[in-house]
Structure 1
Amino acid sequence: MRSAYKFRLYPTEDQIKKLEETLETCRQLYNDALAAKKEAWEDDRYNLTYYEMARQLSANRKKNQALKAVYAHVLQDVLRRVDKAFQNFFRRVKNGETPGYPRFKGRGWYKSFTYPDAGTGYKIEGSKLILSGIGAIRIFKHREIEGKIKTCTIKRDSTGAWYAIFSV
């Protein structure tokens, strides 16, 4: 059974800047990947797969400093989100439901990013959450996490507060 634990983060001003830059880079990648999938479908009736987008991401990371600054697995998770949005769209079309085509994300509409691997991407040491590419952020861990941590999602809510959500 999967469950989630949500803890408040207390980043410094520099860490907030890095978190916001990461969020913006992920939003731009999401929109770029969505545009590429849409263009491939409209031009050639070809469904661009996650693996093809991931290969393009590898090439783009060598050229783009903003992509290079973000942990690679976080970027790969963004591509998985795009792929999942399209899979859900086609599933709803097939089942005769109201489809809802995947949407581009404007500023303020992309609120989280996910570290899919413990140990290398993130780790908890005492009252600090260490995120690759961002650093050690103070976390208020008000209870123990029971189970094996699968993912860590960093989320900014509407008030500007930051949270770490651990899926176990």
Structure 2
Amino acid sequence: MAMRDLIPWRRQENTAPALFQNEERSPFVQFRREMDRLFDDFFRAPLFSGGAFGNASLGWPSLEVKEADDQVTITAELPGLNEKDVELTVHDGVLTLRGEKKSEHQDKDRGWSERYYGRFERSIALPDGADESKCEADFRDGVLTVRMPKSQEASRGRKIPIGTRGTRH
């Protein structure tokens, strides 16, 4: 089998061995078709075409970066987390957001439990002039907002404390 036969978008239509070309009921032909279908579906997935699945799995949490003349604002959506689950650092022009999401559900009466664990990390290159020493962050309703004023004399490197502002109950 040639290497090009393994690549779904280069595959020729009728590449089954000559022995089974006319035997539609052969388990080998059916197996080959099923494998071809799986490869086709995999390479057609949004992960490879830049769709939502790719963005959700590789770019979590979702970020929004806004740059104005006097300030840079970065917003991260972190549903189900609080400020204790998130670490925010800035060093050499890069803002790094790290954390871990944990969730456990248990129903002893029905005899089941679910656990979800996942670590995440996102790094954002900051625009020139962002003043890292005056960076502020607050966490409210699952949304982390980082504000950084712009100045010409920006110092480099510090950990940013995350506070709560106007938390609703």
TM-score (norm 1): 0.24
User: Which one has a larger percent strand, Structure 1 or Structure 2?
Assistant: 2
Q: Which structure ranks higher in relative contact order (CA pairs < 8 Å, sequence separation ≥ 6)?
A: 1
Q: Which has the larger radius of gyration?
A: 2
TM-score (norm 2): 0.24
User: Which one has a larger percent helix, Structure 1 or Structure 2?
Assistant: 1
